[in-house]
């Protein structure tokens, strides 16, 4: 058996060697979810007012409790002058999908109020659901008092908690699609259409930005939970408490670019890649290639090494054997732990050995030759002994007749 052990990776790049960008937000974090790395943090666990990034939890509870095709009626809502709204009127009927679009894109407080009341029966009951879900996710520095996000005592979170919440939400395809939209048309039953625009202006400035939620109040400052994807790598950033929208966007872009530069997707093994060979019984000098059954790609820091180890691989195989038969396992290891297991399989069919091949193989094996020599020698000895015994019997019979 021949094993081809691989170490996958690449040299450190200038982007990797460079330090983190200058960040002047009071609190910020950058995470790479595939590895779980916290790439950058500044006061990341500090409890702070979070403005309309509160609506991320509003969206999560609504998505988990309601069906997107359900139709809801807008509840009465009396906003203050500066509140962000989706433009809904009491009694407007729309799908849950459109209410969530109205919640996330223009950050509509009216949509948030309706989702809360229609989901749980009242705002207070919905807030209880928000806090229960926060506990289940493990958000240790988060508490909600409102589904809307206006400055309210006891409504707070941290940059780290908001990043964790966003990672849960990004498992939902509708959330990812919605927060990546620059705008949307909300269809009110009865014919009216409301055009809404995403407040996350980074979507229009950088093609790789694909989410997620803005927020602003006097106490919270300007906040943004951002996400970006490029070449298969996704990173999530949170910036809290900046003094302007420009500072919010500048800090967010710096973090997102930094994260995308530091990581890449590496093929640890590729489908049909030869990783070992095994001898074929009865066919001297013939080998069978053993190949990976599928491709394994992993996100890794630039310069980071991934390795593969083979287990359960036979030294020799015997036909008949079908192509694709499992003959071992490839362990993909990253940072000292096994992150995937891939079947190692036969690259081709191996037919059963013919009688001639079996005899030829017997003849080639030294032990077989010794056995044959011993067998032939023993047989000759038996023949000689039998002949001698026969002669003695005949001689004894002749002597008896003479006597």
> Which residues are known to be catalytic?
52, 55, 107
Tokens of 177: 């699609």
Q: What angle do CA 339, 343, 349 make, to 5 degrees?
A: 165
Spatial separation of the C-alpha atoms in residues 189 and 203, rounded to whole Å: 29
Is 309 within 8 Å of 328 (Cβ atoms)?
no
Spatial separation of the C-alpha atoms in residues 69 and 54, rounded to whole Å: 24
Indicate the DSSP class of residue 54.
G
19, 54, 25, 16: which is closest to 250 by C-alpha? 25
Q: Which three-class secondary structure state does DSSP give residue 345? A: strand
Residue with tokens 């009242």: 122
Distances (CA, A) of 302 to 16, 41, 127, 227, 333: 6, 20, 42, 20, 16
Tokens of 97: 């999908």
Non-local CB neighbours of 371 within 8 Å, separated by 6+ positions: none
346, 373, 212, 224: which is closest to 280 by C-alpha? 346
Q: What is the largest CA-CA distance in the chain?
A: 147
**Does the CA dihedral 58-60-64-69 come out positive or negative?**
positive
Spatial separation of the C-alpha atoms in residues 155 and 217, rounded to whole Å: 12
Distances (CA, A) of 309 to 12, 295, 337, 340: 24, 15, 11, 11
Residue with tokens 């003695």: 392
**Does the CA dihedral 118-216-221-19 come out positive or negative?**
positive
């Amino acid at each position: 058996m021949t094993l081809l052990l691989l170490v996958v990776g690449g040299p450190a790049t200038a982007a990797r060697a460079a330090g983190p960008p200058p960040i002047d937000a009071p609190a910020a974090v950058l995470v790479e979810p595939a590895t779980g790395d916290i790439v950058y943090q500044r006061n990341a666990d500090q409890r702070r007012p979070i403005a309309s990034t509160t609506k991320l939890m509003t969206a999560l509870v609504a998505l988990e409790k309601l069906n997107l095709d359900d139709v809801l009626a807008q509840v009465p809502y009396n906003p203050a002058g500066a509140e962000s709204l989706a433009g809904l009127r009491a009694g407007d009927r729309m799908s849950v999908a459109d209410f969530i679009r109205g919640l996330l894109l223009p950050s509509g407080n009216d949509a948030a109020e309706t989702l809360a009341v229609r989901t749980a029966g009242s705002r207070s009951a919905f807030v209880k659901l928000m806090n229960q879900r926060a506990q289940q996710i493990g958000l240790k520095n988060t508490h909600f008092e409102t589904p809307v996000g206006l400055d309210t005592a006891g409504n707070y979170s941290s940059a780290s908690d908001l990043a964790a919440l966003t990672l849960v939400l990004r498992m939902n395809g509708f959330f990812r699609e919605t927060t990546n939209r620059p705008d949307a048309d909300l269809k009110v039953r009865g014919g009216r259409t409301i055009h809404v625009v995403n407040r996350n202006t980074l979507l229009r400035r950088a093609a790789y930005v694909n989410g997620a939620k803005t927020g602003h109040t006097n106490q919270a400052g300007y906040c943004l939970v951002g996400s970006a994807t490029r070449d298969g790598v996704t990173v999530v950033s949170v910036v809290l408490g900046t003094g302007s929208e420009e500072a919010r966007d500048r800090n967010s872009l710096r973090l997102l670019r930094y994260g995308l530069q530091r990581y890449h997707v590496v093929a640890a093994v590729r489908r049909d890649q030869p990783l070992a060979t095994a001898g074929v019984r009865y066919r001297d000098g013939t080998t069978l290639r053993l190949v990976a059954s599928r491709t394994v790609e992993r996100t890794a820091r630039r310069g980071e090494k991934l390795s593969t180890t083979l287990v359960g691989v036979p030294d020799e195989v015997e036909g008949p054997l079908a192509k694709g038969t499992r003959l071992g396992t490839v362990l993909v290891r990253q940072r000292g732990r096994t992150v995937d297991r891939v079947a190692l399989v036969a690259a081709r069919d191996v037919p059963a050995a013919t009688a001639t091949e079996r005899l030829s193989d017997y003849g080639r094996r030294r032990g077989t030759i010794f056995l044959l020599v011993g067998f032939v020698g023993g047989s000759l000895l038996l023949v000689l002994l039998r002949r001698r015994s026969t002669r003695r019997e005949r001689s004894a019979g002749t002597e008896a007749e003479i006597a």
